[in-house]
Amino acid sequence: MPFQNRVALSGSHREAIASASKPRPVDDHELVQATVVLRRRTHAQLPASPEEFGFKDSRTTNYHRREDFGTIHGADPADIALIEEFAHEYSLTVTERNAARRSVVLSGTAENIQKAFGTSLAHYDTPGGTYRGRTGSIMIPSELQPIVTAVLGLDNRPVAKPHVRMAHAAAATGGLSPALVAQLYNYPKGFNGAGQTIGIIELGGGYRTSDLTTYFKSLGIKTPTVSAISVDGGVNKPGADKNADGEVMLDIEVAGAVAPGARIVVYFAPNTDQGFHDAITTAVHDTTNKPSVISISWGGPEDSWTDQSRNAMLAACTDAAAVGVTVTVAAGDDGATDGVSDHKLHVDLPACLPPVLACGGTKLSTRQGTITGETVWNELANNEGATGGGVSRIFPIPTYQSSAGVPVHPETKFAGRGVPDVSGDADPATGYSVRVDGKNTVIGGTSAVAPLWAGLIAVLNQELGRAVGFINPALYRIGSSAFRDITTGNNNGYQANKNWDPCTGLGSPNGTALVSALQGEASMTA
């Protein structure tokens, strides 16, 4: 059938980066790849929160089996067939189709891609590098309007950065081992995450097996099983970017040290909206490795994303909740502004998505194996970062936070999702001793907190004998009894206070108390 009438794809409008040069035309023969994201089979509208998705929370076990998800909430085969017909019309190649992920990946020359999606592509130079971009909206045939929710990858600008902070040289020889931090936070003894798989999303960098072997041997811990999966051409590539390598090694070493019995699978993808989305959906719907928890330490300000990419990320993380996967996400390292130059209050995405467990940062004081104090991590005065946190401008407050005392956004007065949910040690001055590119160093940032909590989730899953999955509602019901409430400090926008606050959420964990509380939750529904 001929595809003639064109309409703008909702939420696809793009502007060039403010610091970008004048556009330079792309070569017509340049190969471009795009992911077309399709509607759910049974939900034309994306749910605003997991509570609306047809399951409740971690007290229940009615999560969908990964193997069944595609036939219940995946893409309709007729929708996939229509995209394939569209691709044929414009001489594009279908390189991948996946009903569960609701994704069809198309590739073709820039000339054909531009005709297919009614847009002009160009190359832009910025202080951060060169990217291929577009401006305006993507124009799709009207026949596709009801079924297509996003087209990702035409614009390949970086969408995220690693939330990692390197300690200054003076502190780089100290640091705490992740295993000690787990001990300080009273992680359950006698459990190591055996039987669980921790998925880690990486948008750059890489790891060396020799470094992992040396590191875990130094801790007296058996090296966990670590494997890499390539998404959209992303690969394990250590040595090209020190910051990204630091992120990858921090994630693996923290998660592996606190849950050494768990398998670790690292999903490497390009740092684009397409890569980020596809890495998450690949991990969520991975029927081979079946991660029960996914750790994400990359992100960018929520308003730097297009509506279509935000909605695609929301759908991907809602899928995770639906199949019983907990997603732990770093809240950011630039305080309440999230590093945005307008100096207004912003939160980071994906931390602000309602289905994820957003992880903020603290400064931990210890003596002889015990915690002597814990405050909000804020070293912005020394240009050394601070925990992200605040209120979303875009995502409404979810049901599980309705009694948490989340304030409206101070500038917009919008009743938004509060960030973070929980916290943990993140100040590089009290950071984690890790090994990166053959050298021992100390790293902090909320990047460390996401894998720290991912390891705890793996341990909880093992001890409870079930996946806690979408744990947020349970955590807010449990409240202060299983947390160390952080009441001192600020993130240059919000102040810590009793109970939940937009700096450290509910607080840092008391792992053993959390197990008992979750067991109590389960007995209430037995």
Specify whether 134 is located in the same domain as 183.
no
Specify whether 80 is located in the same domain as 172.
no
Q: Determine how many CB atoms are found less than 10 A away from the CB of residue 344.
A: 16
Residue 58: inside a domain: no
Specify whether 364 is located in the same domain as 306.
yes
| Residues marked as catalytic | 247, 251, 447
User: Packing angle between helix 77-89 and helix 110-117, nearest 10 degrees?
Assistant: 120
Give the whole-angstrom CA distance, residue 495 versus residue 425: 18
Specify whether 111 is located in the same domain as 240.
no
Residue 436: inside a domain: yes
Residue 53: inside a domain: no
* Tokens representing residue 71 in the block: 């036939």
- In the chain, the number of structural domains is 2
- Average pLDDT, 10 consecutive residues per value, the chain (526 residues): 84 92 94 97 53 47 82 94 97 97 98 97 94 96 96 97 81 79 96 97 97 97 97 95 94 98 98 98 97 98 97 96 96 97 96 98 92 96 95 97 97 98 95 95 96 98 96 94 96 97 98 95 55
Give the whole-angstrom CA distance, residue 509 versus residue 151: 39
pLDDT at 43: 54
Specify whether 378 is located in the same domain as 238.
yes
Specify whether 133 is located in the same domain as 218.
no
Specify whether 141 is located in the same domain as 184.
no
Q: Determine how many CB atoms are found less than 10 A away from the CB of residue 232.
A: 22
pTM over 0.85, yes/no: yes
Specify whether 357 is located in the same domain as 213.
yes
- The CATH number for 298's domain is 3.40.50.200
Specify whether 313 is located in the same domain as 408.
yes
Residue 299 · residue 276 · CB < 8 Å: no
Task: Give the C-alpha distances (Å, rounded to integers) separating 52 from 12, 399, 479.
Answer: 25, 10, 23
Please give the residue range of the domain that contains residue 317. 161-189+197-525
pLDDT at 46: 39
- Sequence-separated (6 or more) residues with CB below 8 Å from residue 108: 31, 32, 87, 90, 91, 92, 93, 116
Specify whether 210 is located in the same domain as 107.
no
* Nearest alpha carbon to residue 272 among 226, 303, 304: 304
pLDDT at 64: 84
pLDDT at 58: 44
pLDDT at 522: 65
Residue 215: inside a domain: yes
* Nearest alpha carbon to residue 452 among 375, 359, 389: 359
Residue 241: inside a domain: yes
Q: Examine residue 420 and say whether the peptide bond preceding it is cis (omega within 30 degrees of 0).
A: yes
Residue 515: inside a domain: yes
Residue 384: inside a domain: yes
Specify whether 231 is located in the same domain as 124.
no
Give the whole-angstrom CA distance, residue 451 versus residue 282: 19
Specify whether 169 is located in the same domain as 90.
no
pLDDT at 173: 54
Residue 333: inside a domain: yes
